[in-house]
């Protein structure tokens, strides 16, 4: 059983928010919580509820296991990275990516 390292959670939230170019104000707005609460979460002076963790993970486009677990399985890490990349492109580009991914899966043994 894994134990949640809250210090790591706080650090991940802040790092991901900054990586996304998002201010504390914007994250707070998207999560429907106060700016001061986001600041407290990032400093580790207040803990967050599961509901707040879900809102933050959604706003930052990361999975809960990324935020809450010290180590995540490779599939979740890869999916998070792909999701982050795909969010930069319009839906029609994402459909092309899915067709390409299906081709890769179908022929992975040949590569």
Q: What is the largest CA-CA distance in the chain?
A: 54
Domain 1-70: CATH superfamily, name plus number: lambda repressor-like DNA-binding domains (1.10.260.40)
Give me the helices (H) in the chain, please.
6-19, 24-31, 35-43, 50-59, 64-68, 74-86, 91-106
Cβ–Cβ < 8 Å for 24, 17: yes
The pLDDT assigned to 44 comes to 86
- What is the pLDDT confidence band of residue 109, given thresholds at 50, 70 and 90? confident
Q: What is the pLDDT of residues 13-29, one digit of tens each?
A: 999 999 999 999 999 99
Chain centre to alpha carbon of residue 89: 17
66, 57 in Cβ contact below 8 A? yes
pLDDT at position 72, please?
A: 54
pLDDT over 80 at 1, yes or no: no
pLDDT tens digits for range 43-100: 988 888 999 999 999 999 888 888 887 655 556 667 777 888 888 888 888 889 889 8
Kindly list the domain boundaries of the chain, sorted by start residue: 1-70, 73-111
pLDDT band at 2 (very low <50, low <70, confident <90, very high): low
Q: In this structure, are residues 17 and 31 in contact, taking their beta carbons and an 8 Å threshold?
A: no
Unique residue bearing structure tokens 């299906």: 102
pLDDT at 73: 56
Q: Choose between 101 and 39: higher pLDDT.
A: 39
Q: Would you state the structure tokens that stand for residue 77, as one six-digit string?
A: 């890490």
């Amino acid at each position: 059983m894994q134990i949640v390292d809250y210090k790591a959670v706080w650090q991940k939230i802040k790092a991901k928010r900054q990586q996304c170019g998002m201010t504390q104000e914007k994250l707070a707005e998207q999560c429907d919580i106060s700016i001061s609460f986001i600041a407290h979460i990032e400093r580790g002076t207040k803990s967050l509820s599961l509901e707040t963790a879900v809102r933050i993970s959604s706003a930052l486009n990361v999975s809960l296991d990324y935020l809450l677990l010290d180590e995540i399985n490779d599939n979740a890490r890869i999916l998070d990275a792909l999701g982050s990349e795909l969010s930069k492109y319009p839906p029609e580009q994402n459909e092309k990516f899915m067709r390409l991914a299906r081709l890769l899966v179908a022929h992975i043994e040949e590569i």
